[in-house]
Amino acid sequence: MNRIESLLSKMTLAEKLGQMTMTASSYAVTGPVIAGDSTQAIKDGTIGNLLNMVGAQHVHDMQRLAVEESRLGIPLLIGLDVIHGHRTVFPIPLGEAALFDPKMWALTAQESAREAAADGLAMTFAPMLDVSRDPRWGRSAEGPGEDPWLGARIAEAKVHGYQGNDLAAPHTLSAVAKHYCAYGAVTAGREYASVDISERTVREVHLPAFEAAVAAGVAAVMPAFTDLAGVPMTANVALLRGWLRGKLGFRGVIVSDYHAIAELIHHGVAADLAHAATLALKAGVDIDMMADAYRRGLPEALSRGWVTMAEIDTAVRRVLTLKLRLGLFDDPYRRGARPEDPAAVSARRKLARVVGSRAIVMLKNGQGVLPLTKPGLRLAVIGPLADSSVDMRGPWWGASAPEGHVTVLEGFRQMLSDAHVAHAQGVSIDDDDTSGIAAALERCETADAIILCVGEAAAMSGEAASRAHLGLPGRQRAFADAVFERARSLGKPVVVVLFSGRPLVVPWLAEKSDALLAAWFPGSEAGNAIADVVLGHVSPSGRTPVSWPRAAGQVPIFFGQRPSGRPRDAADHYTSKYLDVANDPLFPFGFGLTFGRFKYSNLRVPAGGVAESDTIVVRVDVANEGRRAAEETVFLFTHDRVASVVRPVLELKGFGKISLEPGETGTVTMLLAAADLKFLGLDLEPVFEAGDVEILVGPCADRSQLLLAGIELAHPAPSGIKR
């Protein structure tokens, strides 16, 4: 009998339920405090997993209780939300998505895993893979943006990054793909609200990232808090047991979200804890995070015959298998055994700076005002986010302290000099006090340029942070307007650095600023990363992974829409449009300026029929006609013009990158597996249909900026006709 079966055969029901329970320790700055009687419960073997512990010493102390003082000595599985960094904070995931760089996506996950594992942790509740097309939803900040194909690429990179090749290695974490699924489609963007979308949209938009995570070997999955068309995900047999385990063959652990099993009662599908626990177990949820429904409810469910011991054993087996794979049985102290090499820590900080600067999306650079390169440059760095370390961290800060994240002011002061950088806050992020505006305007007088730092507080995005108004909070607009007016009278440029966990609705800011940088929440090296771009040490390359609306009324807004039967026609009243705003976004998906000026030409695709097994080679020439070296991200979209099911006007299928000196031309080659042109047919099964497909290549999801070529998909059947 193997180790797991032999353990299982010795376990009492209480011990089994312990392995199916995850309890929080209330981590505080002073250190973790295990709530209530968890210490005793760990010794009793009735708590087998913990979350929210920080510090190798504390983790090992708890581990010792389990390993040395519990009857069976089963090690604890200890997890934390290491979402965009642990102690070193990288940009928020939405910002990191803007890199369009799978190696970097994996690298930041790998570095976060190293740092968290050095703190004794073995699991992170990441990556967050919820595609979101509604910026009202605060958790857009944590996810991959609006596109399913992009979400899938991020999913595989992150899973590889966190987990490495060997889950047992002391520097890896088990990843948890979350929140399965369609959480990003909450009604009206309101947190925890119901989700009700078509099965096709679930399959086409919300599942691909999870499929990619499973294919990459993700160790665990977390169901979403929400219901999908009336079936809460925590109890969703069809999607958990059916799709995830059955169809995708996922063999790992399903860990519930925080208290989610008990919330089945609030959803209205369970009458009490025993009922809720039964539904979750039947759906395949192995670990109950913080509801205590399994420990309190399953004994009753068992005695009533609602669940079987075999079902419980299956869940326990999966948890023990994960602990075994993580190497916890062999050496529960391997993670956090020794402190990290300081050189690794400082290299990580440097990486945070590189990624922070590469996440920045330059939305405007009027008259090429950036970079600011004047010798002896004097700046006024003003605004409520100019000197706020805590906000640079964004909504998930792992175990980082609130202080110590380089502010914009600190970044510029380090790179210029204290004397050359004036500062005033002006207004706060969201109160009504305008008394500081005058002082801030005064600071502008002696500056060559004004760096205006506005946006959201970090806590305005992330979980439970939906917003109906997507403009600048508080009195920031009044402040910004006053700054623009003063700057205009002084003849000085205003560079706006916008911080947010979502695209904001700020067309006026785009119009009035001289330059506009979407900085998201850049993390620990925020100020340095921003100064690097503004001063031209780094050529900006970030591209927005979400469409920026012109008006909140346009949301949900995304490039992959289906065409209307009455496409917009300004001259025809009865067409698909708004009376008061354009259809298109202010900044489309993929948009982002560089210090170069790129021209595309000579798009090449294969002539002749393309079979399902072919790889399509797409080539395009790109010339930098600007005056500075820059990196261009090239997007590959497709459009199936006539298909048995309406296909989106654009589908992202690839991207490439090229760095070019001024005057230089290069060729970008992108490979597209013809099989990726399959779509879900009328019966929702994948189909490869013959016919013409448009290949569109260019800088962003604005059709007017894309080069177009056509390919012909050849049907494998001799008749060659489409269904």
Catalytic positions, please? Answer: 257
Contact 248, 213 (CB under 8 A): no
CA 417 remoteness from chain centre: 35
> Binders of ligand NOJ among 685-714, rule CB under 6 A?
none
Pairing state between β 21-28 and 49-51: parallel
Q: Mapping DSSP to helix (H, G, I), strand (E, B) and coil, where does residue 344 land? A: helix
Which of 178, 318, 512, 550: binder of ligand NOJ (CB under 6 A)? 178
For the bound state, the minimum distance from the C-beta of residue 395 to ligand NOJ, rounded and expressed in Å, comes to 11
For the bound state, the minimum distance from the C-beta of residue 258 to ligand NOJ, rounded and expressed in Å, comes to 4
Pairing state between β 679-680 and 176-180: unpaired
The CA distance from 104 to 97, in Å, is 10
Q: Which two tokens stand for residue 671?
A: 């490979």
Alpha helices in 448-573 (DSSP H): 476-490, 507-512, 526-534
Residue with tokens 């590889």: 160
Which of 42, 56, 81, 120: binder of ligand NOJ (CB under 6 A)? 81
Closer CB to ligand NOJ, 258 or 679, in the complex: 258
Q: Is 288 in the site for ligand NOJ (CB under 6 A)?
A: no
Residue 541 is given by DSSP the state: -
Residue 646 is given by DSSP the state: P
Burial class (CB in 10 A: 0-12, 13-18, 19+), 494: buried
For the bound state, the minimum distance from the C-beta of residue 621 to ligand NOJ, rounded and expressed in Å, comes to 44
Q: Is 191 in the site for ligand NOJ (CB under 6 A)?
A: no
For the bound state, the minimum distance from the C-beta of residue 283 to ligand NOJ, rounded and expressed in Å, comes to 18
Closer CB to ligand NOJ, 225 or 688, in the complex: 225
Q: How many CB atoms lie within 10 A of CB 712?
A: 14
Q: Is 84 in the site for ligand NOJ (CB under 6 A)?
A: no
Closer CB to ligand NOJ, 24 or 390, in the complex: 24
Q: Is 257 in the site for ligand NOJ (CB under 6 A)?
A: yes
The CA distance from 563 to 640, in Å, is 11
- Residue 401 main-chain phi, psi, to 5 deg: -75, 155
- Tell me which residue has its CB nearest to ligand NOJ: 125
Residue with tokens 């050849």: 714
Contact 208, 152 (CB under 8 A): yes
Residue 36 is given by DSSP the state: T
How far are the Cα atoms of 8, 63, 701 from residue 45, in angstroms, in the given order?
13, 12, 54
CA 28 remoteness from chain centre: 25
Residue with tokens 């654009």: 650
Closer CB to ligand NOJ, 125 or 243, in the complex: 125
CA neighbor of 299 nearest in space, from 325, 275, 279, 274 = 274
Q: Residue 216 contacts by C-beta under 8 Å, 6 or more apart in sequence?
A: 155, 156, 159, 160
CA neighbor of 117 nearest in space, from 350, 399, 524, 401 = 399
The CA distance from 54 to 718, in Å, is 63
The CA distance from 243 to 239, in Å, is 5
- Residue 536: left if φ>0, alpha if ψ -120 to 50, beta else—which one? left
- Residue 584 main-chain phi, psi, to 5 deg: -80, 160
Closer CB to ligand NOJ, 53 or 496, in the complex: 53
Q: 406-445 mask for ligand NOJ (x: CB under 6 A)?
A: ----------------------------------------
Closer CB to ligand NOJ, 81 or 391, in the complex: 81
Closer CB to ligand NOJ, 258 or 559, in the complex: 258
The CA distance from 27 to 409, in Å, is 31
For the bound state, the minimum distance from the C-beta of residue 148 to ligand NOJ, rounded and expressed in Å, comes to 20
Count the site residues for ligand NOJ by CB under 6 A: 6
For the bound state, the minimum distance from the C-beta of residue 177 to ligand NOJ, rounded and expressed in Å, comes to 11
For the bound state, the minimum distance from the C-beta of residue 235 to ligand NOJ, rounded and expressed in Å, comes to 16
Closer CB to ligand NOJ, 50 or 623, in the complex: 50
Q: Which two tokens stand for residue 479?
A: 């402040």
Closer CB to ligand NOJ, 81 or 111, in the complex: 81
The CA distance from 259 to 270, in Å, is 14
Q: Residue 579 contacts by C-beta under 8 Å, 6 or more apart in sequence?
A: none
Q: Is 125 in the site for ligand NOJ (CB under 6 A)?
A: yes
Q: Which two tokens stand for residue 61?
A: 């102390």
Closer CB to ligand NOJ, 463 or 621, in the complex: 463
Q: 30-69 mask for ligand NOJ (x: CB under 6 A)?
A: ----------------------------------------
Q: Which one-letter amino acid corresponds to residue 180?
A: Y
Q: Mapping DSSP to helix (H, G, I), strand (E, B) and coil, where does residue 575 land? A: coil
For the bound state, the minimum distance from the C-beta of residue 654 to ligand NOJ, rounded and expressed in Å, comes to 30
Closer CB to ligand NOJ, 157 or 176, in the complex: 176
CA 654 remoteness from chain centre: 19
Contact 370, 543 (CB under 8 A): no
Closer CB to ligand NOJ, 259 or 628, in the complex: 259
For the bound state, the minimum distance from the C-beta of residue 189 to ligand NOJ, rounded and expressed in Å, comes to 16
> Binders of ligand NOJ among 459-478, rule CB under 6 A?
463
The CA distance from 284 to 625, in Å, is 57
The CA distance from 188 to 646, in Å, is 25
Q: Which one-letter amino acid corresponds to residue 504?
A: L
Q: How many CB atoms lie within 10 A of CB 453?
A: 29
Q: Is 258 in the site for ligand NOJ (CB under 6 A)?
A: yes
CA neighbor of 218 nearest in space, from 142, 150, 162, 286 = 162
For the bound state, the minimum distance from the C-beta of residue 178 to ligand NOJ, rounded and expressed in Å, comes to 6
How far are the Cα atoms of 114, 360, 593 from residue 542, in angstroms, in the given order?
26, 5, 8
For the bound state, the minimum distance from the C-beta of residue 463 to ligand NOJ, rounded and expressed in Å, comes to 5
Closer CB to ligand NOJ, 50 or 283, in the complex: 50
Q: Which residues bind ligand NOJ (CB under 6 A)?
A: 81, 125, 178, 257-258, 463
